[in-house]
Amino acid sequence: MMSRINNLEDYAVDYRKSVTEPEKFWAEQAERFVWRKKWDKVLEHDFHDYNVEWFKNGKLNITENCLDRHLLNRSDKIAIHWVPNDPKEPDRTFTYRELHEEVCRFANVLKRNGVQKGERVCLYMPMVPELAIAVLACARIGAIHSVVFGGFSANALADRINDADARILLTADFGPRGSKKIALKEVADEAMENTPSIRKAIVLQRTGDEVNMVEDRDLWWHDELERVDNECAPEIMDSEDPLFILYTSGSTGKPKGVVHTTGGYMVYTAYTFRNVFQYKEDDVYWCTADIGWITGHSYIVYGPLLEGATSVMFEGVPTYPDAGRFWRVVDRLRVNIFYTAPTAIRALMAQGQEYVELYKLDSLKVLGTVGEPINREAWEWYHHHIGKGHCPIVDTWWQTETGGIMISPIAGVLPTKPTYATLPLPGIQPVLLDNDGNELHGNGVEGNLCIKFPWPSMLRTTWGDHERCKNTYFSTFKGYYFTGDGCRRDEDGYYRILGRVDDVINVSGHRLGTAEVENAINMHEAVIESAVVGYPHDIKGQGIYAYVVCDADKLEITTVPEIKDEIMDVVIDKIGKIARPDKVQIVRGLPKTRSGKIMRRILRKIASGETSNFGDTSTLLDPSIVDSIKIGVVKDE
Distance of alpha carbon 430 from alpha carbon 437, whole angstroms: 14
Distance of alpha carbon 299 from alpha carbon 286, whole angstroms: 9
Residue 485: CB minimum distance to ligand WTA, A: 5
Give bridge partners of residue 122 from the DSSP assignment.
146, 169
Residue with Cβ nearer ligand WTA (150 or 484): 484
Residue 488: CB minimum distance to ligand WTA, A: 12
Distance of alpha carbon 582 from alpha carbon 568, whole angstroms: 9
Considering only the C-alpha atoms of the chain, give the largest distance between any 2 of them, rounded to a whole number of Å. 74
**H or E segment at 570?**
helix 560-574
Burial grade of 346 (CB within 10 A; 0-12, 13-18, 19 or more): buried
Residue with Cβ nearer ligand WTA (64 or 485): 485
Give whole-number Cα distances, 182 to 151, 178, 186, 228, 316, in Å: 8, 10, 9, 30, 12
- Total H helices, total E strands in the chain: 21, 30
Task: Count CA atoms closer than 13 A to 273's CA, side-chain side.
Answer: 31
List the end-to-end C-alpha distance of the chain, in Å, as a whole number. 58
Residue 246: CB minimum distance to ligand WTA, A: 9
Residue with Cβ nearer ligand WTA (482 or 547): 482
Residue 601: CB minimum distance to ligand WTA, A: 19
Residue with Cβ nearer ligand WTA (14 or 372): 372
- DSSP state, 399? -
Strands 242-248 and 218-220: unpaired
Distance of alpha carbon 589 from alpha carbon 529, whole angstroms: 9
Residue with Cβ nearer ligand WTA (113 or 375): 375
Residue with Cβ nearer ligand WTA (160 or 524): 160
- DSSP state, 151? T
Residue with Cβ nearer ligand WTA (505 or 586): 505
Distance of alpha carbon 243 from alpha carbon 583, whole angstroms: 39
Residue 311: CB minimum distance to ligand WTA, A: 17
Residue 161: CB minimum distance to ligand WTA, A: 20
- Secondary structure of residue 507 in the 3-state scheme: strand
Give whole-number Cα distances, 595 to 529, 550, 587, 589, 598, in Å: 16, 22, 20, 15, 9
- Secondary structure of residue 175 in the 3-state scheme: strand
Residue 1: CB minimum distance to ligand WTA, A: 29
Residue with Cβ nearer ligand WTA (96 or 474): 474
* Percent of residues in the chain assigned helix, strand, coil, to nearest 5: 30, 25, 40
The residue type at 109: V
Residue 395: CB minimum distance to ligand WTA, A: 5
Strands 41-46 and 51-56: antiparallel
Give bridge partners of residue 147 from the DSSP assignment.
123
Residue with Cβ nearer ligand WTA (487 or 584): 487
For 114-255, where are the E strands, in sequence order? 120-124, 144-147, 168-172, 175-177, 180-182, 200-204, 218-220, 237-238, 242-248
Residue with Cβ nearer ligand WTA (406 or 567): 406
Contact positions vs ligand WTA (CB under 6 A): 248, 293-295, 370-373, 395-400, 421, 483-485, 497, 499-500, 506, 511
Distance of alpha carbon 333 from alpha carbon 314, whole angstroms: 12
Residue 166: CB minimum distance to ligand WTA, A: 21
- DSSP state, 503? S
- Secondary structure of residue 593 in the 3-state scheme: strand
Cβ neighbours around 556 below 10 Å, total: 8
Residue 287: CB minimum distance to ligand WTA, A: 11
Residue 394: CB minimum distance to ligand WTA, A: 9
Residue with Cβ nearer ligand WTA (395 or 582): 395
Residue with Cβ nearer ligand WTA (492 or 622): 492
Residue 367: CB minimum distance to ligand WTA, A: 13
Residue with Cβ nearer ligand WTA (181 or 604): 604
Task: Count CA atoms closer than 13 A to 485's CA, side-chain side.
Answer: 27
Residue 258: CB minimum distance to ligand WTA, A: 8
